[in-house]
Amino acid sequence: MNPTIQPLRGMNDVLPTDMPWWHFLEATAREVLDAYGYQEVRLPLLEQTALFKRAIGEYTDIVEKEMFTFADRDGDSLTLRPEATASLVRAAITNGLLHNQRHRLWTAGPMFRGERPQKGRYRQFHQIDVEAYGFAGPDIDAELILLSARLWQRLGISRVRLELNSLGTPESRRVYREKLIEYFSAHHELLDEDSRRRLHGNPLRILDSKNPALAECIAGAPSLADSLSTECREHFDGLQQALSDAGIAFTVNPRLVRGLDYYSRTVFEWITDALGSQNAVCSGGRYDGLIPLLGGEPTPAIGWALGEERIVLLLQELGITPPGVQPDVFVVVVGDRASRAGLAVAERLRDSNPGLKVHAGLGGGGFKAQFKRADKSGATVAVIIGDDEADRGVAQVKHLRMENAQETCAIAEVPARVAALLGAQAGR
RNA sequence: GUGGACGUAGCUCAGCUGGUAGAGCCCCGGAUUGUGAUUCCGGCCGUCGCGGGUUCGAGUCCCGUCGUCCACCCCA
Protein backbone atom coordinates (compact mmCIF):
# COMPACT_ATOMS: atom_id res chain seq x y z
CA MET A 1 0.00 0.00 0.00
CA ASN A 2 1.08 3.52 -0.70
CA PRO A 3 1.57 5.91 2.16
CA THR A 4 -1.52 7.88 3.06
CA ILE A 5 -1.66 11.60 2.54
CA GLN A 6 -2.70 13.64 5.53
CA PRO A 7 -5.06 16.56 5.17
CA LEU A 8 -3.76 20.07 5.64
CA ARG A 9 -3.72 21.42 9.16
CA GLY A 10 -6.99 22.99 10.15
CA MET A 11 -8.79 21.82 6.99
CA ASN A 12 -11.70 19.51 7.78
CA ASP A 13 -13.92 17.11 5.92
CA VAL A 14 -17.60 17.41 6.77
CA LEU A 15 -19.02 13.89 6.75
CA PRO A 16 -22.58 12.58 6.46
CA THR A 17 -22.85 12.14 10.22
CA ASP A 18 -22.58 15.92 10.71
CA MET A 19 -24.42 16.96 7.58
CA PRO A 20 -27.93 17.10 9.09
CA TRP A 21 -26.78 19.91 11.39
CA TRP A 22 -25.21 21.84 8.51
CA HIS A 23 -28.33 21.45 6.39
CA PHE A 24 -30.52 22.47 9.30
CA LEU A 25 -28.47 25.62 9.86
CA GLU A 26 -28.24 26.54 6.19
CA ALA A 27 -31.86 25.83 5.36
CA THR A 28 -33.09 27.75 8.40
CA ALA A 29 -30.79 30.67 7.65
CA ARG A 30 -32.04 30.78 4.07
CA GLU A 31 -35.65 30.86 5.23
CA VAL A 32 -35.02 33.64 7.73
CA LEU A 33 -33.01 35.67 5.22
CA ASP A 34 -35.79 35.27 2.67
CA ALA A 35 -38.27 36.43 5.27
CA TYR A 36 -36.33 39.70 5.67
CA GLY A 37 -35.81 40.20 1.93
CA TYR A 38 -32.08 39.55 1.81
CA GLN A 39 -30.76 38.30 -1.54
CA GLU A 40 -28.00 35.78 -2.05
CA VAL A 41 -24.81 36.47 -3.97
CA ARG A 42 -21.93 34.11 -4.71
CA LEU A 43 -18.39 35.33 -4.78
CA PRO A 44 -14.92 34.13 -5.75
CA LEU A 45 -12.70 32.56 -3.11
CA LEU A 46 -9.66 34.31 -4.54
CA GLU A 47 -9.09 38.03 -4.77
CA GLN A 48 -6.17 40.36 -5.27
CA THR A 49 -4.20 40.60 -2.06
CA ALA A 50 -4.51 44.38 -2.14
CA LEU A 51 -8.26 44.14 -1.52
CA PHE A 52 -7.85 42.64 1.92
CA LYS A 53 -4.83 44.74 2.85
CA ARG A 54 -6.78 47.88 2.13
CA ALA A 55 -10.11 46.77 3.57
CA ILE A 56 -9.11 44.91 6.72
CA GLY A 57 -6.06 47.04 7.51
CA GLU A 58 -2.32 46.49 7.08
CA TYR A 59 -1.68 46.23 10.79
CA THR A 60 -4.35 43.74 11.74
CA ASP A 61 -3.49 40.19 12.76
CA ILE A 62 -5.43 38.82 9.82
CA VAL A 63 -3.38 40.70 7.25
CA GLU A 64 -0.08 40.58 9.09
CA LYS A 65 0.08 36.87 9.75
CA GLU A 66 -3.00 34.87 8.85
CA MET A 67 -3.65 35.18 5.13
CA PHE A 68 -3.01 32.45 2.59
CA THR A 69 -1.23 34.59 0.02
CA PHE A 70 0.68 33.38 -2.99
CA ALA A 71 1.81 34.53 -6.42
CA ASP A 72 0.05 33.24 -9.50
CA ARG A 73 1.95 32.45 -12.71
CA ASP A 74 2.05 36.09 -13.74
CA GLY A 75 3.50 37.07 -10.41
CA ASP A 76 0.30 38.75 -9.21
CA SER A 77 -0.32 38.41 -5.50
CA LEU A 78 -3.52 36.50 -4.77
CA THR A 79 -5.15 35.73 -1.44
CA LEU A 80 -7.74 33.19 -0.36
CA ARG A 81 -10.41 35.33 1.24
CA PRO A 82 -10.09 35.54 5.03
CA GLU A 83 -13.58 37.02 5.34
CA ALA A 84 -16.46 37.97 3.09
CA THR A 85 -17.14 41.63 3.70
CA ALA A 86 -14.26 42.95 1.60
CA SER A 87 -15.19 40.65 -1.29
CA LEU A 88 -18.83 41.59 -1.12
CA VAL A 89 -18.05 45.30 -1.14
CA ARG A 90 -15.71 44.78 -4.05
CA ALA A 91 -18.45 42.88 -5.91
CA ALA A 92 -20.97 45.64 -5.19
CA ILE A 93 -18.58 48.24 -6.60
CA THR A 94 -17.62 46.09 -9.59
CA ASN A 95 -21.25 45.54 -10.52
CA GLY A 96 -22.48 49.06 -9.89
CA LEU A 97 -24.78 48.25 -7.01
CA LEU A 98 -23.94 51.32 -4.99
CA HIS A 99 -25.25 54.25 -7.02
CA ASN A 100 -28.06 55.66 -4.91
CA GLN A 101 -29.31 52.17 -4.25
CA ARG A 102 -30.11 50.10 -1.25
CA HIS A 103 -29.31 46.43 -1.08
CA ARG A 104 -29.77 43.68 1.44
CA LEU A 105 -27.40 40.87 0.53
CA TRP A 106 -25.98 37.68 1.93
CA THR A 107 -23.40 35.13 0.93
CA ALA A 108 -21.97 31.98 2.43
CA GLY A 109 -18.96 29.79 1.95
CA PRO A 110 -15.45 28.94 3.06
CA MET A 111 -12.99 31.48 4.44
CA PHE A 112 -9.29 30.91 5.05
CA ARG A 113 -7.05 32.05 7.87
CA GLY A 114 -3.72 30.53 8.82
CA GLU A 115 -4.34 30.42 12.56
CA ARG A 116 -3.36 27.68 14.93
CA PRO A 117 -6.39 25.38 14.91
CA GLN A 118 -8.48 24.63 17.93
CA LYS A 119 -12.01 23.44 18.40
CA GLY A 120 -14.24 26.01 16.70
CA ARG A 121 -11.30 27.63 14.96
CA TYR A 122 -10.09 26.23 11.68
CA ARG A 123 -7.94 27.30 8.75
CA GLN A 124 -10.76 26.69 6.35
CA PHE A 125 -14.03 27.62 8.00
CA HIS A 126 -17.45 28.63 6.79
CA GLN A 127 -19.39 31.78 7.32
CA ILE A 128 -22.83 33.05 6.53
CA ASP A 129 -22.33 36.73 5.85
CA VAL A 130 -25.14 39.29 5.75
CA GLU A 131 -24.69 42.89 4.63
CA ALA A 132 -26.87 45.93 3.96
CA TYR A 133 -25.80 48.87 1.79
CA GLY A 134 -27.30 52.33 1.54
CA PHE A 135 -28.99 52.52 4.94
CA ALA A 136 -27.65 55.21 7.23
CA GLY A 137 -30.00 55.06 10.23
CA PRO A 138 -29.92 52.80 13.26
CA ASP A 139 -33.04 50.98 12.08
CA ILE A 140 -31.02 48.75 9.78
CA ASP A 141 -28.55 48.02 12.59
CA ALA A 142 -31.53 46.83 14.60
CA GLU A 143 -32.97 44.80 11.73
CA LEU A 144 -29.73 42.92 11.21
CA ILE A 145 -29.54 42.07 14.89
CA LEU A 146 -33.21 41.06 15.00
CA LEU A 147 -32.57 38.83 12.03
CA SER A 148 -29.78 37.06 13.86
CA ALA A 149 -31.89 36.75 17.01
CA ARG A 150 -34.68 35.22 14.97
CA LEU A 151 -32.23 32.76 13.51
CA TRP A 152 -31.19 31.61 17.00
CA GLN A 153 -34.82 31.29 17.96
CA ARG A 154 -35.63 29.25 14.85
CA LEU A 155 -32.63 27.01 15.44
CA GLY A 156 -33.54 26.54 19.09
CA ILE A 157 -30.23 28.02 20.24
CA SER A 158 -29.90 29.29 23.78
CA ARG A 159 -26.81 30.21 25.79
CA VAL A 160 -25.94 33.13 23.51
CA ARG A 161 -25.93 36.74 24.62
CA LEU A 162 -25.54 39.98 22.77
CA GLU A 163 -22.89 42.60 23.40
CA LEU A 164 -22.92 46.02 21.78
CA ASN A 165 -20.65 48.98 21.49
CA SER A 166 -20.19 52.07 19.38
CA LEU A 167 -16.78 52.90 18.00
CA GLY A 168 -17.83 56.34 16.76
CA THR A 169 -16.81 57.82 13.46
CA PRO A 170 -13.29 57.45 12.09
CA GLU A 171 -12.70 61.10 13.06
CA SER A 172 -13.79 60.75 16.66
CA ARG A 173 -11.96 57.47 16.86
CA ARG A 174 -8.79 59.18 15.67
CA VAL A 175 -9.13 61.71 18.45
CA TYR A 176 -9.85 58.97 20.98
CA ARG A 177 -6.92 56.97 19.72
CA GLU A 178 -4.57 59.87 20.44
CA LYS A 179 -5.99 60.17 23.94
CA LEU A 180 -5.47 56.47 24.50
CA ILE A 181 -1.91 56.53 23.25
CA GLU A 182 -1.25 59.45 25.55
CA TYR A 183 -2.81 57.63 28.51
CA PHE A 184 -1.11 54.30 27.97
CA SER A 185 2.22 55.92 27.18
CA ALA A 186 2.02 57.58 30.58
CA HIS A 187 1.56 54.11 32.10
CA HIS A 188 4.03 52.42 29.81
CA GLU A 189 5.73 50.53 32.64
CA LEU A 190 2.45 48.73 33.47
CA LEU A 191 1.86 47.39 29.97
CA ASP A 192 2.68 43.85 28.92
CA GLU A 193 4.56 42.99 25.76
CA ASP A 194 1.46 42.59 23.59
CA SER A 195 0.07 45.90 24.69
CA ARG A 196 3.31 47.75 24.06
CA ARG A 197 3.40 46.35 20.56
CA ARG A 198 -0.17 47.53 19.97
CA LEU A 199 0.30 50.91 21.56
CA HIS A 200 1.01 52.73 18.34
CA GLY A 201 -0.49 50.21 15.92
CA ASN A 202 -3.95 49.63 17.35
CA PRO A 203 -4.25 50.97 20.90
CA LEU A 204 -7.98 50.18 21.05
CA ARG A 205 -7.09 46.52 21.21
CA ILE A 206 -5.32 47.07 24.51
CA LEU A 207 -8.76 47.68 26.04
CA ASP A 208 -9.71 44.16 25.04
CA SER A 209 -6.75 42.53 26.81
CA LYS A 210 -7.54 39.59 29.06
CA ASN A 211 -4.43 40.10 31.12
CA PRO A 212 -5.70 40.62 34.71
CA ALA A 213 -2.56 42.61 35.53
CA LEU A 214 -3.79 45.29 33.15
CA ALA A 215 -7.34 45.42 34.41
CA GLU A 216 -6.83 48.36 36.72
CA CYS A 217 -4.86 50.35 34.20
CA ILE A 218 -7.52 49.70 31.54
CA ALA A 219 -10.32 50.67 33.89
CA GLY A 220 -8.74 54.05 34.33
CA ALA A 221 -8.33 54.70 30.61
CA PRO A 222 -10.40 57.37 28.89
CA SER A 223 -13.73 56.03 27.75
CA LEU A 224 -14.62 55.69 24.11
CA ALA A 225 -18.20 56.61 24.92
CA ASP A 226 -17.11 60.02 26.15
CA SER A 227 -15.58 60.91 22.82
CA LEU A 228 -18.56 59.98 20.68
CA SER A 229 -20.03 62.79 18.61
CA THR A 230 -23.66 63.79 19.16
CA GLU A 231 -24.67 62.05 15.94
CA CYS A 232 -22.92 58.83 16.95
CA ARG A 233 -24.46 58.97 20.39
CA GLU A 234 -27.92 59.42 18.87
CA HIS A 235 -27.34 56.58 16.45
CA PHE A 236 -26.27 54.26 19.25
CA ASP A 237 -29.22 55.33 21.43
CA GLY A 238 -31.55 54.70 18.51
CA LEU A 239 -30.26 51.19 18.10
CA GLN A 240 -30.57 50.42 21.80
CA GLN A 241 -34.11 51.78 21.83
CA ALA A 242 -35.09 49.66 18.83
CA LEU A 243 -33.65 46.53 20.42
CA SER A 244 -35.43 47.23 23.69
CA ASP A 245 -38.69 47.76 21.80
CA ALA A 246 -38.21 44.38 20.17
CA GLY A 247 -37.46 42.71 23.48
CA ILE A 248 -33.88 41.80 22.61
CA ALA A 249 -31.63 41.66 25.66
CA PHE A 250 -28.14 43.09 25.31
CA THR A 251 -25.31 44.51 27.30
CA VAL A 252 -23.16 47.45 26.28
CA ASN A 253 -19.53 46.43 26.47
CA PRO A 254 -17.31 49.50 26.16
CA ARG A 255 -14.32 47.24 25.61
CA LEU A 256 -15.79 45.55 22.58
CA VAL A 257 -13.50 46.62 19.75
CA ARG A 258 -13.07 44.68 16.57
CA GLY A 259 -9.91 43.32 15.04
CA LEU A 260 -10.73 44.68 11.63
CA ASP A 261 -10.02 48.33 10.97
CA TYR A 262 -13.04 49.10 8.84
CA TYR A 263 -15.69 49.25 11.56
CA SER A 264 -17.31 52.50 12.66
CA ARG A 265 -20.17 53.26 15.04
CA THR A 266 -22.11 50.06 15.82
CA VAL A 267 -20.23 46.88 16.61
CA PHE A 268 -21.78 43.80 18.18
CA GLU A 269 -21.04 40.23 19.02
CA TRP A 270 -23.12 37.20 19.96
CA ILE A 271 -21.18 35.27 22.57
CA THR A 272 -21.67 31.80 23.99
CA ASP A 273 -20.24 30.15 27.08
CA ALA A 274 -20.66 26.68 25.58
CA LEU A 275 -17.68 26.46 23.24
CA GLY A 276 -14.62 27.19 25.34
CA SER A 277 -12.43 30.04 24.26
CA GLN A 278 -13.88 30.35 20.75
CA ASN A 279 -16.86 32.14 22.18
CA ALA A 280 -17.96 34.49 19.38
CA VAL A 281 -20.54 32.80 17.19
CA CYS A 282 -21.67 35.82 15.23
CA SER A 283 -20.34 39.31 15.03
CA GLY A 284 -20.36 42.39 12.92
CA GLY A 285 -20.84 46.08 12.75
CA ARG A 286 -21.14 49.20 10.69
CA TYR A 287 -18.44 50.20 8.22
CA ASP A 288 -19.56 53.42 6.59
CA GLY A 289 -16.05 54.34 5.54
CA LEU A 290 -15.04 51.15 3.79
CA ILE A 291 -16.72 51.57 0.44
CA PRO A 292 -14.98 54.81 -0.54
CA LEU A 293 -11.73 53.32 0.75
CA LEU A 294 -12.15 50.65 -1.92
CA GLY A 295 -12.99 53.18 -4.61
CA GLY A 296 -16.78 53.13 -4.45
CA GLU A 297 -19.33 55.90 -3.99
CA PRO A 298 -19.59 56.78 -0.30
CA THR A 299 -22.36 54.49 0.94
CA PRO A 300 -23.35 53.56 4.47
CA ALA A 301 -22.90 49.86 5.12
CA ILE A 302 -23.33 47.33 7.91
CA GLY A 303 -23.12 43.57 8.21
CA TRP A 304 -22.39 40.52 10.29
CA ALA A 305 -20.97 37.07 9.84
CA LEU A 306 -21.63 33.88 11.72
CA GLY A 307 -19.26 30.91 11.92
CA GLU A 308 -21.04 27.82 10.68
CA GLU A 309 -18.70 25.38 12.41
CA ARG A 310 -19.31 27.16 15.71
CA ILE A 311 -23.07 27.12 15.28
CA VAL A 312 -22.99 23.42 14.37
CA LEU A 313 -20.88 22.70 17.46
CA LEU A 314 -23.27 24.75 19.55
CA LEU A 315 -26.33 22.93 18.21
CA GLN A 316 -24.67 19.63 19.01
CA GLU A 317 -23.54 20.83 22.41
CA LEU A 318 -27.09 21.93 23.21
CA GLY A 319 -28.42 18.52 22.17
CA ILE A 320 -30.50 19.94 19.33
CA THR A 321 -31.26 17.20 16.83
CA PRO A 322 -32.13 18.31 13.33
CA PRO A 323 -34.99 16.68 11.43
CA GLY A 324 -33.98 13.23 10.26
CA VAL A 325 -33.71 12.01 6.74
CA GLN A 326 -34.97 8.45 7.04
CA PRO A 327 -36.12 6.78 3.83
CA ASP A 328 -39.83 6.15 3.39
CA VAL A 329 -39.32 2.85 1.65
CA PHE A 330 -36.64 0.19 1.76
CA VAL A 331 -36.67 -2.26 -1.14
CA VAL A 332 -35.50 -5.65 0.11
CA VAL A 333 -33.86 -7.45 -2.79
CA VAL A 334 -32.58 -11.04 -2.49
CA GLY A 335 -31.38 -13.05 -5.48
CA ASP A 336 -30.06 -12.45 -8.98
CA ARG A 337 -33.42 -12.36 -10.75
CA ALA A 338 -34.84 -10.28 -7.95
CA SER A 339 -32.17 -7.63 -8.23
CA ARG A 340 -33.34 -6.58 -11.72
CA ALA A 341 -36.93 -6.40 -10.54
CA GLY A 342 -35.85 -4.52 -7.40
CA LEU A 343 -34.19 -1.69 -9.29
CA ALA A 344 -37.23 -1.38 -11.53
CA VAL A 345 -39.63 -1.25 -8.57
CA ALA A 346 -37.54 1.39 -6.84
CA GLU A 347 -37.63 3.52 -9.98
CA ARG A 348 -41.36 3.02 -10.31
CA LEU A 349 -41.84 4.21 -6.74
CA ARG A 350 -39.78 7.33 -7.41
CA ASP A 351 -41.81 7.97 -10.59
CA SER A 352 -45.02 7.70 -8.64
CA ASN A 353 -43.97 10.31 -6.08
CA PRO A 354 -40.90 12.47 -6.72
CA GLY A 355 -40.61 13.35 -3.05
CA LEU A 356 -40.54 9.74 -1.89
CA LYS A 357 -37.26 8.63 -0.35
CA VAL A 358 -36.57 5.13 -1.60
CA HIS A 359 -33.58 3.12 -0.45
CA ALA A 360 -32.73 0.10 -2.59
CA GLY A 361 -31.23 -2.82 -0.70
CA LEU A 362 -28.34 -3.37 -3.08
CA GLY A 363 -25.14 -5.16 -2.28
CA GLY A 364 -26.47 -8.64 -1.60
CA GLY A 365 -27.14 -10.46 1.61
CA GLY A 366 -29.92 -12.76 2.72
CA PHE A 367 -33.38 -11.80 3.92
CA LYS A 368 -32.21 -11.53 7.49
CA ALA A 369 -29.40 -9.14 6.58
CA GLN A 370 -31.64 -7.10 4.31
CA PHE A 371 -34.29 -6.70 6.98
CA LYS A 372 -31.68 -5.65 9.47
CA ARG A 373 -30.55 -2.96 7.07
CA ALA A 374 -34.14 -1.95 6.39
CA ASP A 375 -34.83 -1.61 10.10
CA LYS A 376 -31.63 0.30 10.69
CA SER A 377 -32.30 2.70 7.83
CA GLY A 378 -35.38 3.90 9.67
CA ALA A 379 -37.60 3.22 6.67
CA THR A 380 -41.33 3.05 7.29
CA VAL A 381 -42.28 0.52 4.64
CA ALA A 382 -40.44 -2.45 3.12
CA VAL A 383 -41.06 -3.73 -0.39
CA ILE A 384 -39.82 -7.30 -0.56
CA ILE A 385 -38.64 -9.01 -3.71
CA GLY A 386 -36.96 -12.41 -3.80
CA ASP A 387 -36.44 -14.61 -6.85
CA ASP A 388 -39.79 -16.19 -6.08
CA GLU A 389 -41.62 -12.86 -6.34
CA ALA A 390 -39.55 -11.82 -9.35
CA ASP A 391 -40.61 -14.97 -11.21
CA ARG A 392 -44.27 -14.36 -10.44
CA GLY A 393 -44.18 -10.61 -11.22
CA VAL A 394 -45.25 -9.64 -7.72
CA ALA A 395 -43.79 -8.00 -4.62
CA GLN A 396 -44.66 -8.08 -0.95
CA VAL A 397 -45.30 -4.92 0.99
CA LYS A 398 -44.87 -4.62 4.74
CA HIS A 399 -45.16 -1.83 7.26
CA LEU A 400 -42.06 -1.90 9.43
CA ARG A 401 -43.41 0.26 12.25
CA MET A 402 -46.89 -1.17 12.71
CA GLU A 403 -48.25 -4.64 13.36
CA ASN A 404 -49.78 -5.14 9.95
CA ALA A 405 -49.95 -8.28 7.87
CA GLN A 406 -47.56 -8.51 4.96
CA GLU A 407 -49.40 -8.30 1.65
CA THR A 408 -48.56 -9.61 -1.79
CA CYS A 409 -49.44 -7.53 -4.83
CA ALA A 410 -48.63 -7.11 -8.50
CA ILE A 411 -45.58 -4.96 -9.27
CA ALA A 412 -47.80 -2.34 -10.86
CA GLU A 413 -49.78 -2.04 -7.62
CA VAL A 414 -46.74 -1.44 -5.41
CA PRO A 415 -46.72 2.39 -5.49
CA ALA A 416 -50.41 2.54 -4.55
CA ARG A 417 -49.97 0.03 -1.70
CA VAL A 418 -46.92 1.83 -0.39
CA ALA A 419 -48.74 5.16 -0.52
CA ALA A 420 -51.64 3.63 1.41
CA LEU A 421 -49.34 2.29 4.13
CA LEU A 422 -47.46 5.59 4.46
CA GLY A 423 -50.77 7.45 4.56
CA ALA A 424 -52.06 5.12 7.26
CA GLN A 425 -49.17 6.09 9.46
CA ALA A 426 -49.43 9.79 8.69
CA GLY A 427 -53.06 9.63 9.75
CA ARG A 428 -52.36 8.24 13.15
C1' G B 1 3.08 32.58 16.79
C1' U B 2 3.90 30.77 22.55
C1' G B 3 3.06 26.94 26.36
C1' G B 4 0.96 22.08 27.59
C1' A B 5 -1.58 17.21 26.70
C1' C B 6 -2.35 13.55 23.17
C1' G B 7 -2.00 10.36 18.39
C1' U B 8 -2.84 1.92 19.29
C1' A B 9 -8.49 -1.93 14.66
C1' G B 10 -14.01 1.91 10.97
C1' C B 11 -15.45 4.14 16.30
C1' U B 12 -14.37 4.57 21.91
C1' C B 13 -10.33 3.07 24.43
C1' A B 14 -6.80 -0.69 27.48
C1' G B 15 -1.73 -2.10 26.98
C1' C B 16 2.11 -1.83 34.45
C1' U B 17 8.80 -0.59 35.35
C1' G B 18 10.92 -2.05 26.94
C1' G B 19 10.14 -8.84 25.17
C1' U B 20 7.40 -9.07 18.63
C1' A B 21 -0.79 -6.23 20.21
C1' G B 22 -6.24 -6.54 23.38
C1' A B 23 -11.62 -5.23 24.84
C1' G B 24 -16.33 -3.11 23.76
C1' C B 25 -19.13 -1.14 19.74
C1' C B 26 -19.70 -1.58 14.38
C1' C B 27 -19.63 -5.02 10.27
C1' C B 28 -20.19 -10.27 8.30
C1' G B 29 -21.93 -15.41 9.14
C1' G B 30 -24.60 -19.01 12.20
C1' A B 31 -28.36 -20.81 16.27
C1' U B 32 -32.78 -26.35 10.93
C1' U B 33 -36.00 -24.01 5.14
C1' G B 34 -36.98 -16.40 2.81
C1' U B 35 -38.10 -11.60 7.48
C1' G B 36 -36.19 -6.75 11.60
C1' A B 37 -35.39 -6.99 19.01
C1' U B 38 -32.55 -9.48 22.84
C1' U B 39 -29.20 -13.47 23.86
C1' C B 40 -25.47 -17.05 22.48
C1' C B 41 -21.52 -18.90 19.07
C1' G B 42 -18.01 -17.83 15.30
C1' G B 43 -15.43 -14.49 11.87
C1' C B 44 -13.13 -10.00 9.45
C1' C B 45 -10.27 -5.76 10.57
C1' G B 46 -3.84 -3.04 13.06
C1' U B 47 2.53 0.14 8.25
C1' C B 48 0.73 0.86 17.13
C1' G B 49 0.46 8.99 12.85
C1' C B 50 5.22 9.29 9.99
C1' G B 51 10.83 9.25 9.94
C1' G B 52 15.22 8.46 12.47
C1' G B 53 17.95 6.87 17.01
C1' U B 54 19.14 3.82 21.63
C1' U B 55 18.68 -1.63 22.49
C1' C B 56 19.73 -8.57 21.54
C1' G B 57 14.62 -6.65 21.35
C1' A B 58 10.30 -0.45 21.27
C1' G B 59 3.35 0.62 20.93
C1' U B 60 6.30 1.28 25.45
C1' C B 61 12.73 5.25 25.97
C1' C B 62 15.14 9.63 22.96
C1' C B 63 15.04 13.17 18.74
C1' G B 64 12.57 15.15 14.64
C1' U B 65 8.14 15.74 11.89
C1' C B 66 2.80 15.80 10.76
C1' G B 67 -1.94 16.05 12.98
C1' U B 68 -5.68 16.66 17.03
C1' C B 69 -7.13 18.92 21.64
C1' C B 70 -6.56 22.75 25.73
C1' A B 71 -4.83 27.59 27.32
C1' C B 72 -2.64 32.10 25.46
C1' C B 73 -3.23 34.90 21.15
C1' C B 74 -6.86 35.94 17.62
C1' C B 75 -11.63 35.72 15.91
C1' A B 76 -16.50 33.48 13.05
pLDDT of residue A315: 93
pLDDT of residue A278: 87
CA A293 to chain CA centroid, Å, is 27
Q: Compare A341 and A195 and report the one with higher pLDDT.
A: A341
* Full-model pTM: 0.91
Closest nucleotide over all strands to A116 (CA to C1')? B1
User: Could you report the per-residue pLDDT of A240-283, keeping only the tens digit for each?
Assistant: 999 999 999 999 998 888 767 788 899 999 999 888 888 999 99
The answer to whether A306 CB is within 7 Å of strand B is yes
Residues (230-259, chain A) with CB within 7 Å of strand B atoms? 258-259
d(CA A387, CA A340): 10
The pLDDT-based confidence of A1 (bands split at 50, 70, 90) is low
* The pLDDT of residue A428 is above 60: no
The pLDDT-based confidence of A213 (bands split at 50, 70, 90) is confident
d(CA A426, CA A428): 6
The per-residue b/e assignment along A261-296, b for 16 or more CB within 10 angstroms, e otherwise, is bbbbbbbbbbbbebbeebebbbbbbbbbbbbebbeb
pLDDT of residue A248: 96
Identify the weakest region by mean pLDDT among A67-76, A79-88, A167-176, A206-215: A206-215
A51, amino acid identity: L
User: Could you report the per-residue pLDDT of A273-332, keeping only the tens digit for each?
Assistant: 888 888 999 999 999 999 999 999 999 999 999 999 999 999 998 888 888 788 999 999
Average confidence (pLDDT) over A351-370: 91
What is the arrangement of strands in the sheet containing A407-410, beginning at the earlier edge strand? A358-360, A329-334, A381-386, A394-399, A407-410
* The pLDDT of residue A426 is above 60: no
Average confidence (pLDDT) over A18-46: 96
The answer to whether A281 CB is within 7 Å of strand B is yes
Average confidence (pLDDT) over A67-77: 92
The pLDDT-based confidence of A364 (bands split at 50, 70, 90) is confident
The answer to whether A194 CB is within 7 Å of strand B is yes
d(CA A50, CA A9): 26
* HEC-encoded secondary structure of chain A: CCCCCCCCCCCCCCCCCCHHHHHHHHHHHHHHHHHCCCEECCCCCEEEHHHHHHHHCCCCHHHHHHCCEEECCCCCEEEECCCCHHHHHHHHHHCCCCCCCCEEEEEEEEEECCCCCECCECCEEEEEEEEEECCCCHHHHHHHHHHHHHHHHHHCCCCEEEEEEECCCHHHHHHHHHHHHHHHHHCHHHCCHHHHHHHHHCHHHHHHCCCHHHHHHHHCCCCCHHHCCHHHHHHHHHHHHHHHHCCCCCEECCCCCCCCCCCEEEEEEEEECCCCCCCEEEEEEECCCHHHHCCCCCCCEEEEEEEHHHHHHHHHHCCCCCCCCCCCEEEEEECHHHHHHHHHHHHHHHHHCCCCCEEECCCCCCHHHHHHHHHHHCCCEEEEEEHHHHHHCEEEEEECCCCCCCEEEEHHHHHHHHHHHHHHHHCC
A161-170, A213-222, A242-251, A317-326: which has the highest mean pLDDT?
A242-251
Residue closest to B67, CA→C1'?
A: A9
The answer to whether A276 CB is within 7 Å of strand B is yes
Residue closest to B69, CA→C1'?
A: A118
- Are residues A290 and A109 in contact, defined by beta-carbon separation less than 8 angstroms? no
Percent of the residues in chain A that have a pLDDT greater than 70, as a whole number: 98
Q: Gap from A362 CA to B68 C1', in Å?
A: 36
* The pLDDT of residue A182 is above 70: yes
Closest nucleotide over all strands to A271 (CA to C1')? B76
Chain mean pLDDT for chain A: 90
The answer to whether A108 CB is within 7 Å of strand B is no
pLDDT of residue A427: 47
pLDDT of residue A3: 66
pLDDT of residue A143: 98
The pLDDT-based confidence of A34 (bands split at 50, 70, 90) is very high
